Amino acid sequence: MAGQLIVGLDVSTRARAEEIVVALGDSVDFYKIGYQCFYGADGFALGKELLRAGKKVFFDLKLLDIDNTVEKGVAAIAATGATMLTIHAYPRTMRAAMRGAAGSGLCVLGVTVLTSMDDNDVREAGYERDAAGLVALRAQQAREAGIGGVVASPHEAEMVRTIMGPKPAIVTPGIRRAGSAMGDQKRAMTPAEALAAGATHLVVARPIVEAPDPGAAARAILAEMAGKRTSFA
């Protein structure tokens, strides 16, 4: 289960990120570095340091640009030895990303619909589909592009698995322990529910990094992933 849990280092300083890594110790071996950490905490250097320490790194950068820029950017990330990288799941962007990742071990993930968005948000953005319909379209396009997987809400994980088949990764943010506050997540699930729905990896940030004891919080989530009940709050 430890390899399926990705802890999001959503913090603004390198020192705080390193404190969390130390607190989690051997219980976590996979870390996500997104905008906040990448730009505010020298996250690129931190990611390379984690890789040298034998950890897995997921650069959550959601790349979207002209094809050449995406291809070269993906190639630069692939050269670090990172495990995962996000791009926006537009067909041309996904094809360009695959060219950039060619010959590497980098798993390129297409972001379908953010877990903070619901049907109204999707329509406001100009799509004549609901959130699930847009996720289905992006998943089909991701399969056609041959990328490594997608990022989707756990609520769409089962549908995505049906569309993409058994091999691609399905990475699900919006994970919250049973009974906890949802915050700005509109399509969240518990760890056990997300895995049962077909997710291969769970991304958890605030419930761990903002906990008084991040190590205890991570162990509680790992226990829930394994189907065990815990009293951690």
Residue-wise pLDDT tens digits, 66-94: 999 999 999 999 999 999 999 999 999 99
Burial grade of 16 (CB within 10 A; 0-12, 13-18, 19 or more): middle
pLDDT for the residue 186: 52
* Residue ranges, the chain, pLDDT below 50: 182, 184-185, 229-233
Q: What percent of the chain has pLDDT over 90?
A: 81
* Residues annotated as catalytic (active site), given as ranges: 62
Residue with token string 């943010």: 173
- Under 8 Å CB-to-CB from 83, ≥6 apart: which residues? 30, 56, 57, 58, 105, 106, 107
Euclidean distance between CA atoms 113 and 115, whole angstroms: 6
pLDDT for the residue 116: 86
Q: Which CATH superfamily is domain 2-109+174-225 in?
A: Aldolase class I (3.20.20.70)
Euclidean distance between CA atoms 3 and 74, whole angstroms: 23
Euclidean distance between CA atoms 130 and 83, whole angstroms: 31
pLDDT for the residue 222: 94
User: Could you give the 3-state DSSP secondary structure of residue 231?
Assistant: coil
pLDDT for the residue 1: 56
pTM, full prediction: 0.91
pLDDT for the residue 185: 47
> Binding site: which residues?
10, 32, 60-69, 115, 176, 185, 206
Instruction: Describe the crossing of helices 67-78 and 91-101 by its angle, rounded to 10 degrees.
Output: 40
> Binding site for substrate: which residues?
10, 32, 60-69, 115, 176, 185, 206
